[in-house]
Amino acid sequence: MNSEVISQIDKNTSAKILLNESLKKHTTYGVGGNADLIIPSNKIDLKNIMKIASDYDEKITILGSGSNVLISDKGIKGITVSLKGALDQVKVNGGKLYAECGARLGKVVKESIKYDLIGLENLVGVPGTLGGALIMNAGAWGGEISQYLKSVEVIIDNEIQNLDSSDIEFSYRNSSFTKNTILLSANFELQKSNISEIKKNLIKAQDGRKNTQPLNKRSAGSLFKNPDGNSAGKLIDEAGLKGLSIGDAKISTKHANFLINDGKATSKDMLKLIKKVRNTVQEKFNVLLELEVKLIGFDKNELGGLS
């Protein structure tokens, strides 16, 4: 990153600056090269960082917990802002839940349950921050984070703005937030319910996850989205690809739609394996799988049609 940008951020904010930081520590896959990582201490810091970056025409990448990203071995150019552990307030008032976007989704779910509020408990066990969950429209066991959303506070064009949930389109693991939108906080409206009903949903989600997913391995959850009316895991399994590996990158034997880092995998090997799986499924079933995991820092020529 431009040293003048660093010095401006250092001078004008109280953000933590980690130069040439390994991103292996900041992603659940545990792969990826280095980046200049900035951790803001509050919203105003974040707004100032955005302004400095735009004044110097510096590219910004936002990371939550890095639980849905595959980052190149070459790392990320420009500024990488990490919100994990930053901006993490959660407050409940009646049925209204307010949370900042760096808060762990697990903390948001826990608070909702503490106040007997129903609706978010299906998301128990989804790692990551609230911001990442909203960008991805994270969902599990029939629930999606967008379901009870009322509004989102964002930075767009260096200004803090509020968006009503009706201004945002959400679909299966997708949202209409533009690339340059930074999510700061969100408001949800939830209903009070019987705690035994909430616990029933909670246990179903926890057990389902434990029984079907390789939770002791480094992954980013589902690799591909399920195609309409089909299951990506089933197609990969039926193509005979369970357990396939390139280096330490491996298709889980427990769940075929989980790509895992089984040791010291590189992003290069992870990407090679993704392409191999996608091509094989297309050849066998004529279905082109779409990635759920976001690829960051790769050159266009490395991606070969992936995005």
Residue 102 neighbours by CB under 8 Å, 6+ apart: 64, 83, 84, 85, 86, 87, 88, 129, 130, 131
- When binding is defined by CB under 6 A, the residue of 40, 75, 119, 128 that contacts ligand FAD is 128
Is 173 one of the annotated active-site residues of the chain?
Answer: yes
Is 218 one of the annotated active-site residues of the chain?
Answer: no
Asked if 232 and 224 count as a contact pair (C-beta separation under 8 A), the reply is: yes
What is the rounded distance in angstroms from the CA atom of residue 227 to the CA atom of residue 291?
10
Nearer to ligand FAD, 192 or 210 (CB): 210
Q: Which of 104, 173, 218, 278 is catalytic?
A: 173
Contact between 261 and ligand FAD (CB under 6 A)?
Answer: no
Helix (H), strand (E) at residue 245: strand 245-246
Contact between 151 and ligand FAD (CB under 6 A)?
Answer: no
Give the nearest distance from C-beta 7 to ligand FAD in angstroms: 25
Contact between 220 and ligand FAD (CB under 6 A)?
Answer: yes
Asked if 59 and 79 count as a contact pair (C-beta separation under 8 A), the reply is: yes
Helices (H), 41-144: 43-55, 105-114, 130-136
What is the rounded distance in angstroms from the CA atom of residue 270 to the CA atom of residue 73?
10
Residues 25-84 that bind ligand FAD (CB under 6 A): 28, 62-69, 83
Residues 187-216 that bind ligand FAD (CB under 6 A): 213, 215
Window contacting ligand FAD (CB under 6 A); options: 14-22, 52-60, 138-146, 245-253: 138-146
Window contacting ligand FAD (CB under 6 A); options: 122-130, 159-167, 225-233, 249-257: 122-130
What is the rounded distance in angstroms from the CA atom of residue 208 to the CA atom of residue 176?
29
- Binding residues vs ligand FAD (CB under 6 A): 28, 62-69, 83, 101, 126-129, 131-133, 135-136, 138-140, 173, 182-183, 213, 215, 219-221, 294
